[in-house]
Structure 1
Amino acid sequence: MPVPAPPAAPDDTADSPAARRREQRGWYIYDWANSAFYTTIISVFLSPYLISVAKTAACAKDFPSVAAATCSADFDKLAEAHPGLGYVDVLGADIRPAAFFGLMLTVSVLLQIVCLPIVGALADHTGRKKEMLATFAYLGALATAGLYFLEGDRYVLGGVLFILANLAYGSSVVVYDSFLPQISTAEERDRVSSRGWAIGYLGGGLLLALNLVLYLQHESLGLTEGMSVRISMTSAGLWWAIFTIVPLLRLRNRPVPVHESTALRSVGGSFKQLGRTLSELRRYPLTLLFLVAYLVYNDGVQTVIGNSSAFASEALKLSKDTQISAILMVQFVAFFGALLMGRLARRFGTKNTVLGSLVVWTVIVIIAYFLQEKAALQFYLLAFAISIVLGGTQALSRSLFSLVIPKGREAEYFSLLQISDKGSAFIGALTVTIAVQLTNSYRMAIISMVVFFIVGFVLLAMVNLPKAIRDAGNEVPARI
């Protein structure tokens, strides 16, 4: 039987300013904690290392007479010379080692699309957001730390651990984002969201810098290259686990009107609530329009960032050192960029600031098309411009979205934002794939992103934000 929970407070943000600031400071630190996973694991280390492990496994299976070092170095030539060989087994399917990480990433994203709405509905239904944040954060951190054991031919272990870590990461972010409307008033929302995003860039960049020093100096430290990578990946899990303690001490659950007496019934209630959310979204057409606008332009943002390394190497012929140093610069400059855009939002309005950032993104991809080969300085300047608008575009969009969703359903709606984000990412990736396939040019692939920014701009400009906020039953800030 359902049991009554303590009566819900009429306004989650009706705390004293000091109490809200305490929770906000703790909330910021979770971005600092989990950003280590994205920067160290996804952006830099795991993909090439996991592919090399898969190649080692394929070498041992198909080319046992070739020395391991020689096989790894000449793997592509060996595979080309022996059709039908040079694959690894994944549930009975032959997969090229170079495609293994992409396959694992795709599987993890598909699982997120299935699981994140359930996570969001369950968080709102039970009100146990703090416990859920802890569960997903430490599950992800443990799986990430377990990458230390990724060596030899253990490509399956690496794939499973990454899928688990990425699924836990996405789930924790849904719960984390849903705290934003509860720990800040409408007037505070832009500042709090921007600071969280900025601190995340700073935390992720700091650990990545330390790990790159370890990687580049591994010989002088008496470490093999593989060991330095494994230590770096493990450090991301430890960083994530240690700093998650702070938000868990600062954040608090809010009471919900009713929750089910058992976990099983709570899950069942969550499914029903999710169904209602999808159905009731039609009652908020302006919220839906904003969501579509965000998905379009954010897909452009994610695709540009995700293909920046390939663009640098294939189109600009830049070295790996240049690419890595540019990644580091983006992390630290984006910290100040997110704060700057938060200030601009307070002066010119949040919507106008996001629209302005989309104009900048459009200019960036047009300029990228004309960059000269091996012109490192030009690439650094372009990366600097990206870092200024990168965090702010996403942080302010998160802030706006929090205003156009109904109170008490934050986690559900943020889960829709997350899964739609993941699902739409296929469109940008497909656009790049088609552009490269047809033109054999990463310059054309990057400039094709102009369409995403222009369409996103138009759709966002069409959203009547004050009406969208009132329709969702929320307070309209003085400046949006």
Structure 2
Amino acid sequence: MSQHDSVMSATYKQRLRGWLSYAFASEAFVVVSLTLFLPICLEQFARDNGFFQPEKTQSCNSLSGDAPANVDDRCAVKIGWLWIDTASFSLYVYSISVALQALTVISMGSIADRPLYRKPLLLTFAAIGAFSAIFFLFLSSSSPLWMMSAIFAIFANVGFGASVVAMNAYLPSLAKDSPEVIQAHSELRSSCEDRDENAALAASADVELELSLEEVSDPLLGHPIHPGASQSTYTTALSRATSRISSLGIASGYGAGIILLLVALIPVTRLGGSTFSLRLAIGLSGVWWALFSIPAAIWLPNASNIDEPESGSIKPDDDWTFSSEIGAAWKRLVVMLRWREIQRLQHTFRYLAAWFLLSDGFTTITSTAILFGKTTLHMEPPSLILIGAITPFSGIIGSLVSPILQRKFMWSNLHVLVLLVLMVSLIPAYGCLGFLPIFKGTARFGGLTTQGEMFGLAVYFGFAYGAFQSYARAFYAELLPPGEEARWYGLFSITDKSSSFVGPLIVGLIADSTGNIRYAFFFLVFMVWAAVPVLLSVNIDKGRQDARDYVSRRTLVGE
């Protein structure tokens, strides 16, 4: 290896460590706070300031000797002139944070496409999110400013979502600079050079020989070159490198979440799940997020050593401002969603349609399973928290094992995705079996009728879901117009978040109308299976070429 290659390899490893370190930093907040402690803490903040309905005269936190006759009475808190159920309070906060996150992602996507500003943008939103979580340490539910908890939660979620869009924008360039892709690219270039040399030899031959086209490729000129094979090798190497790096990021994040979750469980358990213990867990996730973002700040490329090409659709650095770029980003979103653009990138949009269904289906399976375990199987909070730890741990195994199986069986990313989707669809299908008479009454196992089955399904689901997250991101990376990764990952994030309202809403309506949440499993099976034909219609090779042509055309016509 030459000195130049050694330097390039060291630079690549440093960038990869920086990228993985931010996944390690930010995903801990998701596992510990966003999906577990933050919703509980927000509900507890509201409960500590709420009153039992319908009288609304007795405080909800008075559960001692002067507790109401029926402690199951619903608790409501007054926000302005409205009385809001304390359980709904956290849902409303989450909905608002998702909406603001979508607006932020749209506005900053084009800025994150500029390599010079990608890292500052990532670190800025990381700081906003981390310190918003840390502020929970200093806010008591008895404070007159307790409503600030909603503001902190919103800013934390927005900071996470926006920073992850900037982080994902690094993925395509990291894959292209990986050693195996560099080697495949070198072989492809060598193949093209050999082909050009053979063409020159054939052109310089004596015209009197009147060689036929078949004779030009005679072995006398050397072995025939098949550039198509080299191109296929390169695209395969790029695809696998993307999925491998994405899998490492998912595994790194899940690992951080498990470690911090086990640490946070100590004070939460010893303090009996008090509001302070919940605040402490959220604050710890913010501290973790901030501390482990420091290696990312050091190792991710700075403005002085960025060599990524900017898209031709992006104006030069001396011809823009943040405000003008934000306005242009919204205009570009309108252009991106025009029917003409959808036709140009039809395979990218087909995948986004499948992602809309799958993202909603998978996240709804998670929330429905936890709610089903609590209300139908009567699982205690410690058991549910244990499931919350088992799932990401199994996700680490899934995200690391899947690339190994892919290489062994020579599967494409699309084949892996479809297999994982079918695997996850078996979970709600298994829950539907609980309606069969054989699993009712005296049955001790089967059809998701026992608590033990929940633990087994947590392992199974975590394995498939961890792998799915890494491959979903990697597969999408192959369909993006070069130089516009952040903008399109922003649309990826918007599709994800906008779908998060549909599944829970329908599951809630099903549960309310039937009185049995198990009926929701039929809907979840349908939602996941509906995405399979859409996913199978995606042609990755055609989509990749369309993305390249899309940028070339925009550059040519000055769009």
Q: Same fold (TM over 0.5)?
A: yes
Partner secondary structure for residue 78 of structure 2: strand
- SS at structure 1 position matched to 2:49: helix
Partner of 2:277: 228
Q: Percent identity?
A: 25
Q: More deviation in 46-55 or 349-358?
A: 46-55
CA contact (8 A) 2:45 2:275 kept: no
Name the residue aligned to 1:5. none
| Closer/same/farther in 2, CA of residues 341 and 373 from structure 1, 3 Å limit | closer
- Structure 2 CA distance for partners of 1:425 and 1:274, relative to 1, 3 Å: same
User: In structure 2, do the counterparts of structure 1 residues 405 and 281 end up closer, same or farther at CA, with 3 Å as the change threshold?
Assistant: farther
Does residue 175 in structure 1 map to residue 224 in structure 2?
no
Equivalent residue for 1:473, pick from 542, 548, 554: 548
Q: Deviations over 1:337-385 (max 9, x none)?
A: 1111222333322111111111111112111333467723211111110
Q: Which runs of 5+ in 1 are unaligned?
A: 1-14, 475-480
Retained in 2: the 8 A contact 1:198–1:336? yes
**CA separation in 2, counterparts of 1:72 and 1:428?**
41
2:417 aligns with one of 337, 340, 354:
354
Q: What is residue 7 of structure 1 aligned with on the other side?
A: none
Give TM-score scaled by structure 2 length. 0.75
1:410 aligns with 2:485: yes
Distance 1:60 1:356 in 2: 48
| Residue of structure 1 equivalent to 2:264 | 211
The equivalences for 1:43-442 within 5 A come to 43-59=35-51, 68-70=61-63, 74=67, 77=70, 87-125=76-114, 127-153=116-142, 154-185=145-176, 186-187=238-239, 188-218=241-271, 225-252=274-301, 253=306, 254=308, 256=310, 258-259=316-317, 260-279=319-338, 280-346=341-407, 347-369=410-432, 370=434, 371=446, 375-442=450-517
Q: After TM superposition, what 4+ stretches of structure 1 lie above 4 angstroms from structure 2?
A: 60-68, 71-81, 371-374
The answer to which of 53-62 and 178-187 deviates more is 53-62
In 2, are the aligned partners of 1:322 and 1:376 still within 8 Å (CA)?
Answer: no
- Tell me the amino acid that sits aligned with residue 177 of structure 1: N
Tell me the secondary structure at the aligned position of residue 337 of structure 2: helix
Name 2:226's counterpart in structure 1.
none
Change in Cα spacing, 1:281 to 1:249, as seen in structure 2 (3 Å) is farther
Shift of 1:210: 0.7
1:73 and 1:137 mapped to 2: Cα distance? 45
Go from structure 1 to structure 2 and tell me whether the alpha carbon gap of 1:32 and 1:125 turns closer, same or farther (over 3 Å shift). closer
| Letter of the structure 1 residue corresponding to residue 450 of structure 2 | A
- Show CA shifts across 1:391-416 (max 9, x none): 11111011010001100100000000
Q: Distance in 2 between matches of 1:189 and 1:295?
A: 21
Paired residue total? 452
2:264 and 2:98 mapped to 1: Cα distance? 26
- Aligned residue number for residue 10 of structure 1: none
**Residues 15-59 of structure 1: CA deviation (Å, up to 9, x unaligned):** 934432321222112111111211221222222222122122124
2-structure distance, mates of 1:293, 1:58:
41
1:76/1:182 Cα in 2 relative to 1: closer, same or farther (>3 Å)? farther
Determine which structure has more spread, i.e. the larger CA radius of gyration. Answer: 2
1:443 correspondence with 2:518: yes
Q: 1:358 to 1:314 in 2, by over 3 A?
A: same
Aligned-residue CA RMSD (Å): 2.6
SS of equivalent residue, structure 1 residue 307: helix
Rounded Cα–Cα distance in structure 1 between residues aligned with 2:267 and 2:97? 29
Aligned to 2:384, the other structure's residue is in SS state helix
Change (3 A) 1:273 1:20: farther
TM-score (norm 1): 0.87
The alpha carbon displacement at 1:202 in A equals 0.6
Provide Cα deviations, 1:156-178, integer angstroms capped at 9, x if missing partner. Answer: 11111101111111111111111
What is the SS of the residue equivalent to 1:448? helix
Provide Cα deviations, 1:157-205, integer angstroms capped at 9, x if missing partner. Answer: 1111101111111111111111101211224101001110111111111
SS of residue in 2 equivalent to 1:399: helix
- Hey, what's the Cα distance between the residues in 1 that align with 2:67 and 2:258? 34
Cα 1:434–1:133 change in 2 (3 A) is: same
Q: Is the 8 A contact 2:168 2:486 kept in 1?
A: yes
Give secondary structure in 2 for the equivalent of 1:69. Answer: coil
1:471/1:211 Cα in 2 relative to 1: closer, same or farther (>3 Å)? same
Q: Is the 8 A contact 1:32 1:243 kept in 2?
A: yes
372 and 460 in structure 1: CA distance in 2 versus 1, 3 angstrom threshold: closer
Instruction: Give the unaligned 5+ runs of structure 2.
Output: 1-6, 177-237, 435-445, 550-559
Match of 2:18 in 1: 26
